[in-house]
Structure 1
Amino acid sequence: MDVLLSIKPKYVRSIIEGEKRYEFRKAIFKDRSVNRIFIYSSAPVKKIVAVFEIGTILEDHPDILWDRVRDYAGIDDSEFFTYFAGRSKGYAIGIENLQELDEPIDPKEAIPEFVPPQSYCYLDGLPVAE
């Protein structure tokens, strides 16, 4: 099983350029057997543009997360703490073996009844080379 994460284009660029090595989430998928994540670059791109394998998933208070990953966050502390404002727990998903897709996928063509996920959705059988 795979997961599709919706990520803003500016953060997608940072991931592809290797500056952002963790993706931050307030909530995480329940099925922890997931090991591959597809990146949906949200508006205005609206395409699936990359895939990566999950490295370590860190779960902790935002202050502790920031101390652990700040050098690989790809964002500044202001963005990080604004995102996690009021939260006592956050997640940092390690990005490993990133593969930018040669041809971005239009999800409306590949996934029946596609609706862009607010955070994430499970995928099964997306046609991408292994």
Structure 2
Amino acid sequence: MKVLLSIKPEYANSILDGTKHFEFRKSIFKRKGVEKVVIYATMPVGKVVGEFDVGGVLSLKPDDLWNETKDNAGVSFSFFSSYFFGREKGFAIKVKNPTRYDQPCELNDILPNAVPPQSYRYL
């Protein structure tokens, strides 16, 4: 099963160039068996730019999550802290085998009449 994630362009690029090994989320997919993430880079890009395999999902208290991921987080501690501020739990999707598409595509090419997901959408 695949999911479509909306990701800021700078983080999408970091994932696809191999420097960001975790995608952080405040909530995670409910269905089991998600194996692949398709990346929608938010505006100003506004295109589907690549994908990666899910290498696992960490579900921890934010302090523990940072300790597990900080060496390959691809974000600053300051960003991480503000993103998870007030949360009891955070999630990190482990990025495996990132692939940048040769030609980014329109969201409508994948899902006709679709709007970018706030968080994620099953494909």
* Structure 1 counterpart of 2:109, one-letter code: E
Partner of residue 50, structure 1? 50
Q: Which residue of 1 aligns with 2:68?
A: 68
Consecutive unaligned residues of structure 1, counting only runs of 5 or more, are 124-130
Whether 1:34 and 2:34 are equivalent positions in the alignment is yes
Give per-residue Cα distances to partners, 1:73-121, cap 9 Å, x unaligned: 0011000010001100000000001111111110123312211100000
The CA RMSD over aligned residues, in Å, is 0.8
Between the aligned partners of 1:17 and 1:83, the Cα distance in structure 2 is: 23
Unaligned ranges ≥5, structure 2: none
Give 1:15 shift: 1.1
Q: Distance in 2 between matches of 1:17 and 1:2?
A: 21
State how far apart, in whole Å, the 2-side matches of 1:69 and 1:80 are: 11
- Corresponding residue of 1:126: none
Task: Report the residue type matching 1:24 in the other structure.
Answer: F
User: Structure 2 length normalisation: TM-score?
Assistant: 0.96
Q: How many residue pairs end up in the alignment?
A: 123
Which residue in the other structure is 2:85 paired with? 85
2:122 alignment counterpart? 122
The 2-side partners of 1:52 and 1:110 are apart by 16
Q: Give me the TM-score of the superposition, normalised by structure 1.
A: 0.91
Equivalent position SS for 2:68:
helix
Residue range with higher mean Cα deviation, 40-49 or 102-111 = 102-111
Equivalent position amino acid for 1:119 in 2: S
**Aligned mates of 1:112, 1:12 — CA distance in 2:** 22
